[in-house]
Amino acid sequence: MTDSRWDSTALRAGALLALVIAVPAWIGASWSMERQSFTLNALFTLAALIGFVLGAACSAWIQQRSYPLAHGVATAVGTYIAVQVIVSTYRVIMGTGVNMFSILLFTTVAAVAGLIGGVLGSRMRRLGFVPSSQRRLP
């Protein structure tokens, strides 16, 4: 039996956190862009990025495979791509365009957010903060 590099529980938990924060913020960013409110768009986009960082940090913190950075990046990029598949499919069905350059650019940004989250999650572990489900009782 092969030991997997990926902790699926950690990936799911991180992705769920990222989705809960980032998707509503991303919808807000799209809404504000349609109304040409660039300040609101910047704030909603920043909130979405914070969602990806927090989801990645959660995944990196919870994982038990000694790959916090990989879990962080996989969580952020995987979540972003999953959302973009749904959004792009909707846009194609509705007849609006899909900007592939924008998707590739923000995939890179999501990867950086995942790396930052991975570092944060790893740092929390090194500082002694351990998820309650993984604590050893005396």
Mean pLDDT by 10 residues, the chain (138 residues): 80 96 89 87 94 96 93 96 90 89 94 97 90 72
- Dihedral-angle region of residue 69 (phi above 0 means left; psi in -120 to 50 means alpha; beta otherwise): alpha
Q: Can you give the pLDDT at residue 81?
A: 95
Q: Can you give the pLDDT at residue 1?
A: 45
Q: Note the pTM of the prediction, 2 decimals.
A: 0.88
Q: Can you give the pLDDT at residue 132?
A: 77
Rounded CA-CA distance 60/102 in Å is: 27
Helices of type H across 1-138: 8-34, 38-62, 68-94, 100-126
Q: Can you give the pLDDT at residue 7?
A: 93
